[in-house]
C-alpha cells in the first residue's frame, strides 16, 4: 500500500470536504455504502445495513470486563454504601506515593477530611466538564465492548488541588477491590499525559456519566477513569485512590500479564453478521465495523479467498486483490442522543467534525460480486490514514488486536 504522506493528506482533505457536501457529494465520494444519490441500494445490502448495531451502544449491550470476588458491581445497596460506591458516599483520596514521594502541598485524604466527594467533583464539573465519544476495547479480548459518550472532569483539575511542587512523574490509580491486596487492579499514566492533551486528544477524565446517564455500578460508577486513546485497562472503574509518584515507569497490573501497557488503540476491521453461505454467481452483501485507532481509517477492504488458492499473497496478504468497501457516513440516528456540546461534534448542529471519527467505531458495507461454487474465506482489513494496512504498523497481539479476520464462506450447496 502507498505510504506516501501526500496520499494520506488527500484522504483527510476529501473526508473533511465530504462533510460539507451533504448526501449527493457523499455518494459521489463513494461513502454511502454502495448507494448513489437517488438510487436505492441493492435490497439485500440495504437489509444487511439495516440490521447493523446502533453507533452508540445501549447500556445493557455493553460488555463487561471486571475483576473481584465479589465483583464490585454485584454488591447490594448497603454494601455499596459501605464501600463508598454511591454518589452519596463516594470519596476519592489523592496521595503522595510513600515509596517514591511526589512533593505536594496537601494530600486529599479521608483522615484529614480533605478527600474529594461527589459534590466536590460536581463543583469542578460546572466549569470543566467535557464529553467525548470513545469505544472501550479490552486489550486482551480484542473486540470492542461498547461505544459511548463519556462525560467527566479532566483528571488534572483534581491533581491541581494537591498543589504539586516537584518530583511528580507518574500518576497511578486503583478502584475498590474488596480491601484485598490480592484483588488490586491498578493502572498508570505519565503525568504529562494527565496535564496535557497531545494530538487533539480529549483529556483523561474522572467520568461520572455515559450517554447522558449517571455511570452505573456495572460501568464503574459512581466514578471511573477514562483514558481516550487507551485500551480498557487504563480506564479504572470504582475509582477510590490516586497516587502521585516520582516513579518513572509504568506499574500497571495489566503489565504483569505480558501486555504492552503503552499501546494506543489500533485500527482494524471486522465483519458483523457475515454471510455463511451464498448462491453461485449471486452478489454477496457484506457488512461490518472498523475500530478507528490512533492512526485513523482511510479505507476498509475485503478479499474473498478461494480455499483452493495456494498462491503466495505476501505477508499479511499484502499482495491479495483486495476490494474497497464503503465506509458508511455518520448515521442519521446515533442510537441515543449525542448531548451537546461534545468534543468532536459541531456545537450547534451536532454533526461530527471528522469522519471516520478517531477512537470510535464506524460501520462499512459492500456488495461483493458473485462467485463460482466453492469453499472460501472472507477477509477484511483497514488502511490507516498513513496508507498502512492492517495488522501493521504494530502487528503484535499483546499491543492490541489487529489480526486480519478469517470467516468461512460456502458458495453453492
| Residues in contact with ligand MTE by the rule CB under 6 A | 62-67, 136, 138, 145, 175, 185, 219-220, 232-233, 235-238
**Residues at the contact surface with Mo ion, assessed by CB under 5 A:** 65, 138, 232-233
Min dist. Cβ of residue 324 to ligand MTE (A): 32
CB of 72 to ligand MTE, least distance (A): 7
Rg of the chain over Cα atoms, rounded to whole angstroms, equals 23
Task: Give the residue closest to ligand MTE by C-beta.
Answer: 232
The least CB distance from residue 16 to Mo ion, in Å, is 33
Cβ 66 vs Cβ 361: under 8 Å: no
Q: Which residue lies nearer to ligand MTE by CB, 175 or 356?
A: 175
145 interacts with, out of ligand MTE, Mo ion, none, CB within 5 to 8 A per kind:
ligand MTE
Q: How far is the CB of 343 from ligand MTE (least distance, A)?
A: 20
Which of 239/367 has CB closer to ligand MTE? 239
Distance between CA atoms of 329 and 264, rounded to whole angstroms?
Answer: 25
Min dist. Cβ of residue 73 to Mo ion (A): 15
Residue 233 or 334 with smaller CB distance to Mo ion: 233
Distance separating alpha carbons of residues 73 and 143, to the nearest angstrom: 22
Nearest to 53 by CA among 366, 324, 333: 333
Q: Which is nearer to ligand MTE, 46 or 66 (CB)?
A: 66
Nearer to Mo ion, 232 or 330 (CB): 232
Picked from ligand MTE, Mo ion, none, the partner binding residue 236 (CB below 5 to 8 A depending on kind) is: ligand MTE
d(Cα 36, Cα 257) in Å, to the nearest integer? 49
- Cis before 334 (ω within 30): no
CA distance 159 to 205: 11
Q: Which does residue 62 bind out of Mo ion, ligand MTE, none, counting CB within 5 to 8 angstroms by kind?
A: ligand MTE
Write the DSSP assignment of 195-253 as a string of letters. Answer: H--GGGPPPPEEEEEETTEEPPTTTT-S-EEE-TTB-GGGS-SSEEEEEEE---S---G
Q: Which three cell numbers stand for residue 173?
A: 490509580
Amino acid at each position: 500500500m502507498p505510504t506516501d504522506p501526500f496520499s494520506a493528506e488527500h484522504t483527510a482533505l476529501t473526508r473533511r470536504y465530504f462533510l460539507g457536501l451533504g448526501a449527493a457529494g457523499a455518494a459521489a465520494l463513494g461513502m454511502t455504502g454502495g448507494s448513489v444519490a437517488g438510487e436505492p441500494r441493492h435490497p439485500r445490502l440495504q437489509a444487511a445495513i439495516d440490521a447493523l448495531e446502533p453507533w452508540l451502544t445501549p447500556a445493557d449491550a455493553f460488555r463487561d470486563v471486571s475483576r473481584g470476588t465479589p465483583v464490585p458491581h454485584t454488591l447490594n445497596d448497603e454494601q455499596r454504601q459501605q464501600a463508598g460506591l454511591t454518589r452519596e458516599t463516594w470519596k476519592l483520596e489523592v496521595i503522595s506515593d510513600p515509596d517514591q514521594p511526589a512533593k505536594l502541598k496537601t494530600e486529599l485524604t479521608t483522615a484529614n477530611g480533605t478527600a474529594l466527594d461527589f459534590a466536590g467533583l460536581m463543583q469542578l464539573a460546572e466549569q470543566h466538564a467535557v464529553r467525548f465519544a470513545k469505544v472501550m476495547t479490552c486489550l486482551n479480548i480484542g473486540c470492542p465492548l461498547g461505544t459511548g459518550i463519556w462525560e467527566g472532569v479532566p483528571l488534572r483539575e483534581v491533581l491541581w488541588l494537591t498543589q504539586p511542587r516537584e518530583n511528580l512523574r507518574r500518576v497511578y490509580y486503583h478502584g475498590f477491590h474488596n480491601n484485598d491486596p490480592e484483588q488490586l487492579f491498578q493502572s498508570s499514566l505519565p503525568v504529562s499525559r494527565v496535564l496535557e492533551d497531545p494530538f487533539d486528544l480529549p483529556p483523561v477524565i474522572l467520568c461520572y456519566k455515559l450517554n447522558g446517564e449517571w455511570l452505573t455500578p456495572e460501568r464503574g460508577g459512581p466514578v471511573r477513569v477514562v483514558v481516550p486513546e487507551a485500551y480498557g485497562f487504563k480506564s479504572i472503574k470504582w475509582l477510590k485512590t490516586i497516587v502521585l509518584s516520582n516513579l518513572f515507569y509504568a506499574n500497571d497490573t495489566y503489565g504483569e500479564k505480558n501486555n504492552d501497557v503503552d499501546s494506543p488503540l489500533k485500527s482494524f476491521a471486522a465483519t458483523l453478521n457475515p454471510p455463511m453461505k451464498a448462491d453461485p454467481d449471486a452478489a454477496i452483501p457484506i457488512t461490518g465495523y472498523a475500530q478507528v485507532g490512533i492512526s485513523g481509517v482511510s479505507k476498509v477492504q475485503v478479499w474473498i479467498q478461494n480455499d483452493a488458492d495456494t498462491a503466495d499473497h505476501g505477508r499479511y496478504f499484502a499482495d491479495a486483490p483486495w476490494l474497497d468497501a464503503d465506509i458508511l457516513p455518520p448515521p442519521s440516528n446515533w442510537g441515543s442522543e449525542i448531548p451537546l456540546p461534545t468534543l468532536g461534534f459541531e456545537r450547534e448542529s451536532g454533526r461530527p467534525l471528522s469522519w471516520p471519527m478517531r477512537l470510535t467505531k464506524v460501520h462499512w458495507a459492500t456488495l461483493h460480486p458473485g462467485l463460482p461454487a466453492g469453499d472460501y474465506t472472507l477477509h477484511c482489513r483497514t488502511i490507516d490514514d498513513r496508507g498502512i494496512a492492517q495488522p501493521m504498523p504494530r502487528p503484535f497481539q499483546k499491543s492490541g488486536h489487529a489480526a486480519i479476520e478469517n470467516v468461512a464462506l460456502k458458495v453453492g450447496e
